[in-house]
């Protein structure tokens, strides 16, 4: 069973395989990797639109921030370089407005999550409209839910912003830094982000760094762009993609060695897309496992996720001599959709009630089974939310809304049992 899934070659066989769990007739192919691949292509073509919207939102946000006297003087120019600053006091209160470590905890938040997936708002080229203020607010909130977060890339100085926010909030938080290489840019994205990671590590050290992830769905994307996502990750095409990724993994290791940073190096991919050569070269693998895209009904979602991860990812990694540690890179449940058509995937239905059920059934069970996971995700990604055209469920996976208010959910309380 695990081999079948791990080596599946046709979208139909994924659908069929998921159907073997009792949820057949999956209308869109039942295959999260393929779905994500399509979404990404759309995303790329919409980048300019997104950038404009993000710029607009941040402009408004900064305006409001000044209006309510949230922060210190000259907010505009100090936003990205301030030595000491504070978060958004309309979301998180601080007893000392100038000391982010004095934030007041929200009793509704419980430190029950192994980890949470996080991208600081606006951390996207070309605009880089992220701010330390916003990252501080995020870290204040995230630290009440978990002690671990993962990033997806390093553009727009996000590694340093996160490490600076951890420093100023003085919270118990560690981060998987990441580099998001692109197979078709001759290594430009890789080098740009590697250098940002290096600089952040040189400034902040590794005390709050769990590891460095090279690649986000690199093999899935490579297959999608070179013949289709239905190909085996260990096919010739998959191995050609792996050779590219391996160059960057090797380079990242020598960068880390060069600065004396002893942290593990890994990669992240969709659950069925781990190439064996890549797994043999990493210390850890982060696997996206999405019951929603696998057309799971909510009542089966948590057990399906844990079983898929165990049989497909953990067992494949255990069979290798280097035995990379596997984590769930993303799992979660969307609360709504920007289009009615995407609001369900077979028996999977996007709703707040179903997110609550997934939280209730997944979080404490995964903790008890010692499964390392990064819940997807911290908040709704506002810049995607605005684009109803390609939106679907993409922008609606947050525990928090885009404005950082908690959704109508109860956070499970099982921190002591993990
Ligand atoms: C602070 O949070 C409020 C409420 O979520 C939001 O409306 C406002 O834009 C935020 N301000 C900044 C500067 O992020
Ligand atoms: C990156 O962020 C850190 C922390 O806020 C800051 O000290 C540094 O100046 C920033 N670098 C760039 C290039 O923006
Ligand atoms: C990173 O990988 C790309 C291919 O994706 C390759 O062209 C580039 O040379 C690599 N760079 C380094 C420094 O490893
Ligand atoms: C994972 O799979 C192995 C082999 O089938 C099994 O022995 C183990 O109990 C499973 N672990 C969990 C947590 O399901
Ligand atoms: C919040 O969720 C609860 C439980 O599902 C429900 O009874 C209540 O109506 C919801 N409140 C809002 C404002 O949606
Ligand atoms: C609000 C804000 O800071 N907007 C900026 C987004 O990024 C572009 C490009 O750097 C700037 O021109 C905007 O001012």
Q: For residue 205, give the CATH number of its domain.
A: 3.20.20.80
Share of the chain above pLDDT 90, in %: 72
Residue 250 belongs to domain spanning: 23-386
Is 418 within the bounds of a domain? no
Tell me if 2 CB under 6 Å of ligand 4.
no
Q: Find the length of the chain.
A: 418
Q: Domain count of the chain?
A: 1
CB 277 within 8 A of CB 250: no
Q: How far is the CA of 192 from the centre of ligand 3 (A)?
A: 11
Residue 101 — φ and ψ, nearest 5°? -80, -10
Asked if residue 201 belongs to a domain, the reply is yes
Give nearest CA residue, ligand 6 atom 7.
127
Instruction: Give domain status of residue 417, yes or no.
Output: no
- Encode pLDDT of 354-396 as tens digits: 999 999 999 999 999 999 999 999 999 866 434 444 578 989 9
Beta bridge partners of 344: 349
What pLDDT shows up at residue 416?
A: 59
Please identify which residue in the block is written with the tokens 């999977």: 348
With respect to residue 411, please indicate whether it lies within any of the assigned structural domains: no
Ligand 5: centre distance to CA 352 (Å): 9
What is the per-residue pLDDT for 390?
59
Residues 6+ apart with CB under 8 A from 416: none
pLDDT bracket for residue 340 (50, 70, 90): confident
In a domain, 395, yes or no: no
Q: Is residue 169 part of a domain?
A: yes
Structural domain contains residue 271: yes
CB of 53 within 6 A of ligand 6: the answer is no
Does a structural domain hold residue 233? yes
pLDDT tens string 62-75: 333 333 332 333 33
Q: How many of the other CB atoms lie within 10 Å of CB of 67?
A: 8
| Ligand 6 atom at minimal distance to the Cα of residue 79 | 3
Quote the CA–CA distance of 18 and 5 in Å, as a whole number. 9
């Amino acid at each position: 069973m695990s081999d079948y899934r791990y080596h599946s070659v046709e979208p139909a066989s994924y659908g069929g395989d998921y159907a073997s769990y009792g949820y057949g007739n999956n209308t869109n192919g039942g295959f999260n990797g393929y779905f994500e691949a399509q979404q990404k292509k759309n995303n790329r073509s919409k980048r300019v639109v997104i950038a404009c919207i993000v710029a607009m939102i941040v402009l408004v946000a900064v305006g409001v921030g000044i209006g309510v006297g949230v922060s210190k003087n000259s907010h505009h120019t100090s936003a990205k370089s301030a030595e000491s600053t504070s978060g958004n006091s309309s979301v998180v209160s601080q007893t000392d407005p100038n000391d982010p470590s004095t934030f007041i905890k929200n009793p509704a938040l419980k430190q029950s999550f192994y980890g949470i997936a996080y991208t600081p708002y606006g951390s996207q080229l070309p605009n880089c409209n992220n701010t330390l203020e916003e990252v501080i607010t995020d870290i204040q909130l995230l630290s009440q839910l978990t002690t671990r977060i993962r990033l997806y890339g390093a553009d727009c100085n996000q590694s340093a912003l996160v490490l600076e926010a951890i420093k100023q909030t003085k919270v118990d938080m560690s981060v998987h830094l990441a580099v998001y290489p692109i197979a078709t840019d001759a290594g430009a994205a890789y080098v740009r982000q590697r250098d940002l990671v290096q600089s952040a590590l040189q400034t902040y050290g590794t005390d709050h760094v769990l590891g460095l992830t090279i690649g986000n769905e690199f093999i899935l994307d490579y297959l999608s762009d070179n013949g289709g996502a239905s190909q085996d990750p260990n096919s010739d095409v998959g191995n050609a993609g792996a050779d590219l990724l391996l160059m960057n993994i090797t380079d990242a290791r020598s960068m880390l060695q060069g600065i004396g940073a002893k942290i593990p190096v890994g990669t992240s991919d969709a659950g069925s897309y781990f190439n064996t050569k890549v797994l043999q070269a990493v210390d850890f693998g982060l696997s996206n496992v999405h019951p929603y895209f696998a057309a799971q009904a909510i009542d089966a979602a948590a057990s399906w996720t844990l079983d898929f991860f165990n049989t497909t990812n953990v067992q494949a990694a255990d069979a290798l001599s280097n035995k990379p540690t596997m984590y769930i890179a993303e799992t979660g449940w969307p609360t709504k959709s920007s289009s009615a058509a995407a609001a369900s995937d077979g028996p999977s239905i996007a709703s707040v009630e179903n997110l609550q059920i997934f939280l209730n059934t997944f979080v404490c069970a995964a903790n008890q089974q010692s499964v390392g996971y990064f819940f997807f995700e911290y908040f709704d990604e506002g810049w995607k939310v605005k684009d109803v055209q390609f939106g679907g469920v993409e922008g609606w996976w947050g525990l928090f809304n885009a404005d950082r208010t908690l959704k109508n959910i109860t956070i499970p309380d099982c921190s002591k049992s993990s």
